[in-house]
Structure 1
Amino acid sequence: MTARRKAAGILTLGIAPLALAGLTAAPAVAHGSLTDPVSRVSACYAEGPENPQSAACKAAVAAGGTQALYDWNGVNIANAAGKHRDLIPDGKLCSAANDKFKGLDLPRADWPASKMSAGKHTFTFRATAPHKGFFELYMTKPGYDASKPLAWSDLESKPFARAADPTLTNGSYVFDGTIPQRSGRHLVYTIWQRSDSPEAFYACSDVTFGGESKKEGGVDAQSAKTPTAPSDDAIAKGAAKSSVEHNGHGDDDANTGAKVKTAAPAGEGQASGGTGQATTGGDTPAVNPAAGEEVLAETGGSSSTTYLAIGGAAVLAAGAAALFTSQRRRATATGRRGN
């Protein structure tokens, strides 16, 4: 074997593992949203991002584009660590202060709304990637006006439902809670704070209660379209579109994400409403699993890194193959001339 052929062989063997490493470096896909009662972003995605049916979802697309709906399971803050009130200003709760999802913050009284009643209810949160963590659900206070921007002061100070590491059934977390008495249109605000990471996810679900109805912004509080959650087929079909921008994992653009308004003192990171989540001896949310706990679907890095790795690996592999072929042809030609 000539020195040139040996070099080509070594190069090919050296690049192949790099290519495989690049191809397996992709982070997990995005994580989920509340589907019972269905969240705004899930309801609009189920209507069809390119051609939504309800006036509110059409307005959301006009404000923020269709990509936000394809990424229905990625309304998140990567480094929330329980500091939800510090990171998310009034008027931006539904988008988690992410500019891409700004259409979800539109103050409207005609968002698709799920019918609810006071008492025990089983909630479902569709998880496209499961994680250990805590769910907290907050209800708007009596007198809530959907035609005005949603503020933290519109929510009750304590969650009416809370669940730690609930059961994952058929791709959804399922847990129970007791819904308080309400009348007319209201909103359920969901926070899913991971305990294996500082990342948190958020969802706004519009709901209507029976009883006295009132006009809000000229719209009957009970008259909005009843929403449906995304079907399995719709989720599967939309996954490819979601991965186009950022592999379906939140938003890699630091300019569109939430910013810390005030620095939280050490050890005082709290959930909205002052309720500690995933605590480890205090009110600071745990960002590492306890000893012996299994870390599920750990994520990290940016999708741009992933695509660069995959693309670079593919280019290297292709180059190695071309070089190997070229050297083989040269060796064959040399052998023929020698004969």
Structure 2
Amino acid sequence: MNKKRRLALAIGAGIAPLLVVSLPVSPASAHGYVSSPPSRQAQCAAGTIDCGPIKWEPQSVEGPKGLTSCSGGNSQFADLDDDSKPWQVTPINSSQTFTWRFTARHATSNWQYFANGQKVAEINGNGAQPPAEVSHTVNFGDIKGKQKILAVWNIADTANAFYACIDVTIG
């Protein structure tokens, strides 16, 4: 019995590394998106708009810092860049609170908000890890009418950021 047990352990120890190397790697259940007002990926996740694979991972719109696309440059999420889709447009006032929902909380450089390509707000993250939800109130000043707001979460310890676009009418 002792010999059989040692043989079984030896075989298990030999097979384990092969199993680890051959098993498929699943994507990280990462990171964060704007949930309110509903961003384009939040609308996809809710089934409001048919948008392909982003439906299953609205928190994964990650790309290099400095991009201006809703998809974060990720071709898998190109539907988010399609302005011809019937995105739900949220009416807002000149001051609006945006809520980010995080599934992996990274140390944060800052959050930035753009309207018409113009930066309207930047909130310092102080390199800290945020709680599961964070809200920022952004003042749009004299910007009015239908706008596509680009919200960016810049990570402190990587070259990447997370991107979300929110369609609004500022009244």
Specify the TM-score bucket, using the shorter chain as the normaliser.
Answer: 0.7 to 0.9
Identity in percent: 25
One-letter amino acid of the structure 1 residue matched with residue 115 of structure 2: M
- 1:166 to 1:9, Cα distance in 2 relative to 1, 3 A: closer
Unaligned runs of 5+ in 2: none
Unaligned runs of 5+ in 1: 141-154, 211-339
Aligned twin of 2:59: 73
CA contact (8 A) 2:120 2:140 kept: no
Whether 1:184 and 2:170 are equivalent positions in the alignment is: no
Aligned twin of 1:122: 97
Aligned twin of 2:30: 30
Distance, in Å, in 2 between the alignment partners of 1:101 and 1:111 is 15
Aligned twin of 1:113: 89
What is the correspondence of 1:1-339 to structure 2 with a 5 Å cutoff?
A: 5=4, 7-11=6-10, 14=13, 28-46=28-46, 48=47, 52=48, 57-58=49-50, 61=51, 65=52, 67-77=53-63, 80=64, 82=65, 84-85=66-67, 93-108=69-84, 110-119=86-95, 121-133=96-108, 134-140=110-116, 155-156=117-118, 158-164=119-125, 165=128, 167-168=130-131, 171-210=132-171
Distance, in Å, in 1 between the alignment partners of 2:31 and 2:122 is 20
Q: Larger % of strand: which?
A: 2
Distance, in Å, in 2 between the alignment partners of 1:75 and 1:167 is 18
Aligned twin of 1:270: none
**Per-residue CA distance 1:114-138 (angstroms, 9 max, x = gap):** 221113x332101011111121111
**Per-residue CA distance 1:250-295 (angstroms, 9 max, x = gap):** xxxxxxxxxxxxxxxxxxxxxxxxxxxxxxxxxxxxxxxxxxxxxx
- 1:207 to 1:197, Cα distance in 2 relative to 1, 3 A: same
Distance, in Å, in 1 between the alignment partners of 2:30 and 2:129 is 19
One-letter amino acid of the structure 2 residue matched with residue 199 of structure 1: N
CA contact (8 A) 1:138 1:190 kept: yes
Q: Larger % of helix: which?
A: 1
- 1:182 to 1:159, Cα distance in 2 relative to 1, 3 A: closer
Distance, in Å, in 2 between the alignment partners of 1:189 and 1:205 is 7
User: Which structure has the bigger radius of gyration?
Assistant: 1
Distance, in Å, in 1 between the alignment partners of 2:5 and 2:87 is 67
Report the TM-score, using the length of structure 2 for normalisation: 0.78
Residue 199 of structure 1 deviates from its aligned partner by 2.4
- Structure 1 vs Structure 2 CA RMSD: 3.2
**Per-residue CA distance 1:140-166 (angstroms, 9 max, x = gap):** 2xxxxxxxxxxxxxx11x342423148
Distance, in Å, in 2 between the alignment partners of 1:162 and 1:173 is 11
Residue 28 of structure 1 deviates from its aligned partner by 4.5
CA contact (8 A) 1:40 1:205 kept: yes
Report the TM-score, using the length of structure 1 for normalisation: 0.42
One-letter amino acid of the structure 1 residue matched with residue 7 of structure 2: A
CA contact (8 A) 1:40 1:204 kept: yes
Distance, in Å, in 2 between the alignment partners of 1:73 and 1:29 is 8
Distance, in Å, in 1 between the alignment partners of 2:14 and 2:74 is 39
- Tell me, what secondary structure is at the counterpart of 1:131? coil
Residue 186 of structure 1 deviates from its aligned partner by 0.5
Distance, in Å, in 1 between the alignment partners of 2:170 and 2:129 is 26
For these two proteins, the number of residue pairs brought into alignment is 166
Distance, in Å, in 2 between the alignment partners of 1:27 and 1:18 is 20
CA contact (8 A) 2:146 2:169 kept: yes
CA contact (8 A) 1:187 1:207 kept: yes
Distance, in Å, in 1 between the alignment partners of 2:44 and 2:104 is 21
